[in-house]
Amino acid sequence: MMLTLAIIGGWTATQGIDALLYIPHHFPQLITAALAMSVFQAFFVYAQSFKKDEMLAIGGNSSNPLYNVSRELLRPQ
């Protein structure tokens, strides 16, 4: 924690206070990027669950496609 405070203090001393205001000034862009990435990952994992020879969760094969959110059985390799 002390190292982090020292780095932030040094960064602020050399770059000025504007360096710390990057996140508040770009908050909508950061939220949009996080939302787009999470939606992409959700669709990717859902599409990957339709591959052949995949082990699926018992309740993950319903007739409702909106309910089949967690189809793939998570298992450590």
Structural domain contains residue 53: yes
Q: Give how many domains the chain has, as a whole number.
A: 1
- Is the residue at 32 inside a domain? yes
Q: Does any domain span residue 66?
A: no
The predicted-structure confidence for 26-72, as pLDDT tens digits, reads as follows 999 999 999 999 999 988 877 777 776 666 666 556 666 666 555 55
Is 50 in contact with 57 (CB distance < 8 Å)? no
Owning domain of residue 45: 2-60
pTM of the prediction? Answer: 0.56
User: Is residue 76 included in any domain, yes or no?
Assistant: no
Instruction: Determine contact, residues 49/71, Cβ cutoff 8 Å.
Output: yes
Does 74 map to a domain? no
**Which of 4-8, 15-19, 63-67 ranks highest by mean pLDDT?**
4-8
Looking at the domain assignment, is residue 42 inside a domain?
yes
5 has a pLDDT exceeding 80: yes
| Residue at 75 is within a domain | no
β-pair partners for 1: none
Q: Please check whether residue 70 lies inside any domain of the structure.
A: no
